[in-house]
Amino acid sequence: MPTRWWIPLDDVTDPAAIRLDHTHAALASWLDPLTADHKGVPFDEEHAQRLKPWFNAPLSRNGDGQLGLEVSTLTDHLTRCLHKGPPQATLRLGRQHARTVAPSPIKHASWTDIDQSDFTSTWTLAFLTPTCFRRRGSSRVSALPSPEPILRQLNTYWTAYSGLKSRLGDHQTPDLVVTSCHIRTHHVQLAPARTVPHNQRFPSKVPGFTGHLTLEASPRDASSIAPLMQLIDYVNIGSFARRGLGVTRLVQINEM
């Protein structure tokens, strides 16, 4: 069951010093072993996988001013594990140790409910944190939004974790176009340059965009695409998704 969580963190003395790679390391050390044990594979093998059933936003504060992390999970196993809370009382975030409080679910939906979501042919996506797409066969990344990689990524997670058939045909190119685009670009420091080896598969700094993108599907393809658009509330889009990039939400009409 796709679920979004809020994980409160206490005793953080210097939030500004916590980098994207710190939150990534803390959550990977917690969630990757749980997935590896469930699949019966070594931790190193699971940790190296690009396709994982969890995502996170950067460190932030909620409406009550509480510091914490928002995390999304796609499998029932991880949902049960987060209900139990982290195995240790603290999470290491760089040189700091934050005291964890029991995670609380923000939003959830069964795969069946998402599959049977209301029919529509137009969707507005809000990209809340910088989003970028890595070029295939290259270490270079692009800060230009495009419908095709967004759909491919959503369908990949759908096929891997829903237990339902692919929403897109093997050779189908969905008729989906951008009808409105309001974005700005940023440059995001993923990690200090001195900590990234020259042969590492990602750079220390990448371009990314935030803002709003409106997509419209043809009547022929809208029913296939609609559930994928609903899934976007639970996954990060683009590259470096588990470093807090690509946090995206489906915007309701009354929120515009």
Please name the helix (run of DSSP H) or strand (run of DSSP E) that holds residue 27, with its range, or none: helix 20-39
The helix/strand/coil state of 51 is: coil
Task: Please give the DSSP secondary-structure letter assigned to residue 236.
Answer: B
Summarize pLDDT for 150-183 with one digit per residue, the tens. Answer: 999 999 999 999 998 888 876 567 889 999 999 9
Task: Please give the DSSP secondary-structure letter assigned to residue 203.
Answer: -
Beta bridge partners of 248: 127
Residues 162 and 228 in one domain: yes
Residues 78 and 162 in one domain: no
Choosing from 108, 139, 173, the residue where a domain stops is 108
Residues 86 and 133 in one domain: no
How far apart CA 43 and CA 38 sit, in angstroms, is 11
Residues 69 and 130 in one domain: no
Residues 116 and 94 in one domain: no
Amino acid at 191: A
Residues 87 and 152 in one domain: no
Residues 192 and 144 in one domain: yes
Residues 129 and 152 in one domain: yes
Number of domains in the chain: 2
Choosing from 46, 76, 108, the residue where a domain stops is 108
With a pLDDT cut of 70, the percent of the chain lying above it is 86
Apex CA 111: angle with CA 147 and CA 60, to 5°? Answer: 65
Summarize pLDDT for 17-67 with one digit per residue, the tens. Answer: 999 989 998 998 888 887 777 676 665 666 566 788 999 999 999 999 999
How far apart CA 115 and CA 118 sit, in angstroms, is 9
Say if residue 84's pLDDT is above 60. yes
Which pTM value belongs to this model? 0.87
Give me the domain span that covers residue 26: 3-108
Residues 81 and 207 in one domain: no
Choosing from 108, 132, 153, the residue where a domain stops is 108
Q: 218 vs 253, which has greater pLDDT? A: 218
Residues 141 and 240 in one domain: yes
Summarize pLDDT for 93-107 with one digit per residue, the tens. Answer: 999 999 988 899 999
